[in-house]
Amino acid sequence: MKVAVFSTKTYDRQFLTDANTESNHELVFFESRLTHDTAALASGFEAVCAFINDELHAETLRKIASKGTKLVALRSAGFNHVDLHTATELGIKVVRVPAYSPQAVAEHAVGLILTLNRKYHRAFNRVRESNFSLNGLLGFDLYGSTVGIVGTGKIGVCFAQIMKGFGCNLLAYDIYQNPLCVEMGVKYVELPELLRNSDIVSLHCPLTKESHHMINTESLKDFNPGAMLINTSRGGLIDTKAVIDALKSGRIGYLGLDVYELEGSLFFEDLSDQVIQDDIFGRLINFPNVVITGHQAFFTRNALQNIAQATISNITDIATGRPCPNIILPEQAIAV
């Protein structure tokens, strides 16, 4: 199949090319994001391969459909950025990579917790400047602390396993209870109870209409004062302005983010010689108790290999008419 691959970096090209050796799809790599303005690049391509910050709104889908695209192959698990109703209407199939390395994301969430707690980022800079003072680096034992997990699917369960290893008490909130978590001794409670009783809250649920801004001015009032909030899931789960207020008042004591509501115009690019126009983001990065990474939780060798192999296999399934286990059904529509 002839595939227009958007939002590609050197590493995407390398892993996808390796995975494509036997299937021999015609992959054409574009650095640019897929948006309404760049959709013309997909002209004449049966398939478009997209990543998380590509825009698959109705307008873009109509444009690519009119130029012959019949398949959207996502290189991601999340599909909140795709208008599935419009895709179905236009006869475009959408496939994704439901799991590639839940461990990669769970481990990154733990990395954010350790960094915020023991302040490795500050210690690293101090020692390089021969400043060996410990003032301001005081942390707390994870052992015995309570961790609240919101969403106990593939990533949430890996995260629970790791935090159990640290000796934490585990609470969880999910619409379904995961038997693996129950077996591990995780206690399921309602969201307000989880927020009230957790020293650390980590978000691992998808972004849907229901979960959009689940952390907002109201729910922040339930937080244990000074608690830590970690989000490696999707930026839209958090009302960022409300979180800034909560950081200023001390309602939350630490914030670790790998995702951000308006990350589309920032993440994955080197903007180091530009003035960032997003004042909310600018405010966030100036708190001493905030650590932000640019959507890198998935970014391990293992995960990239799995993403590339599953993406090529999904495209081959559709190209050869084989049933594809990773097709997204219209009833799964969760675009927000």
Catalytic residue numbers, as ranges: 234, 263, 295
Minimal CB distance to ligand NAD: which residue?
153
Strand partners, 4: 28, 48
Which amino acid is residue 34, in one-letter code? L
Q: Which is nearer to ligand NAD, 112 or 247 (CB)?
A: 112
Angle (CA) 209 212 213, round 5°: 150
Number of other residues whose CB lies within 10 A of the CB of residue 33: 19
196, burial (CB in 10 Å: exposed 0-12, middle 13-18, buried 19+): middle
What sign results for the dihedral spanned by CA atoms 304, 309, 312, 314? negative
Among 8, 146, 202, 232, binds ligand NAD (CB under 6 A): 232
The span of 30-38, 41-49, 82-90, 227-235 binding ligand NAD (CB under 6 A) equals 227-235
The span of 16-24, 136-144, 172-180, 260-268 binding ligand NAD (CB under 6 A) equals 172-180
Closest alpha carbon to 113 in 91, 92, 140: 140
Among 138, 175, 275, 329, binds ligand NAD (CB under 6 A): 175
Helix (H, G, I), strand (E, B) or coil at 213: coil
Q: For the chain, percent helix, then strand, then coil, each to nearest 5?
A: 40, 15, 45
- Write the DSSP symbol of residue 8: -
Q: Which is nearer to ligand NAD, 219 or 233 (CB)?
A: 233
Site for ligand NAD contains 152 (CB under 6 A): yes
Q: Which is nearer to ligand NAD, 63 or 234 (CB)?
A: 234
Output the smallest distance, CB 61 to ligand NAD, in A. 21
Site for ligand NAD contains 78 (CB under 6 A): yes
The secondary structure element, H or E, covering residue 279 is: helix 279-284
The span of 62-70, 122-130, 180-188, 226-234 binding ligand NAD (CB under 6 A) equals 226-234
Q: Which is nearer to ligand NAD, 98 or 253 (CB)?
A: 98
Place of tokens 């023991």: 118
Site for ligand NAD contains 111 (CB under 6 A): no
Output the smallest distance, CB 227 to ligand NAD, in A. 18
Site for ligand NAD contains 148 (CB under 6 A): no
Site for ligand NAD contains 84 (CB under 6 A): no
Q: What is the 3-state secondary structure (H, E, C) of 172-210?
A: EECCCCCHHHHHHCCEECCHHHHHHHCCEEEECCCCCCC
Among 55, 174, 199, 263, binds ligand NAD (CB under 6 A): 174
Q: Which is nearer to ligand NAD, 35 or 103 (CB)?
A: 103
Instruction: Name which of residues 192 to 211 contact ligand NAD (CB under 6 A).
Output: 204-208, 210-211
Closest alpha carbon to 330 in 93, 56, 89, 85: 85
What sign results for the dihedral spanned by CA atoms 99, 100, 101, 105? negative
The span of 11-19, 37-45, 118-126, 154-162 binding ligand NAD (CB under 6 A) equals 154-162
What is the rounded CA–CA span in Å between residue 39 and residue 57? 11
The span of 38-46, 171-179, 216-224, 304-312 binding ligand NAD (CB under 6 A) equals 171-179
Which amino acid is residue 167, in one-letter code? G
Output the smallest distance, CB 198 to ligand NAD, in A. 14
Q: Which is nearer to ligand NAD, 138 or 175 (CB)?
A: 175
Of the CA atoms within 13 Å of residue 229, those in its CB half-sphere come to 32
Phi, psi for residue 68 in degrees, rounded to 5: 110, 0
Instruction: Name which of residues 276 to 335 contact ligand NAD (CB under 6 A).
Output: 295, 297-298
What is the contact surface with ligand NAD in residues (CB under 6 A)?
77-78, 99, 102, 105, 150-156, 173-176, 204-208, 210-211, 232-234, 258-259, 295, 297-298
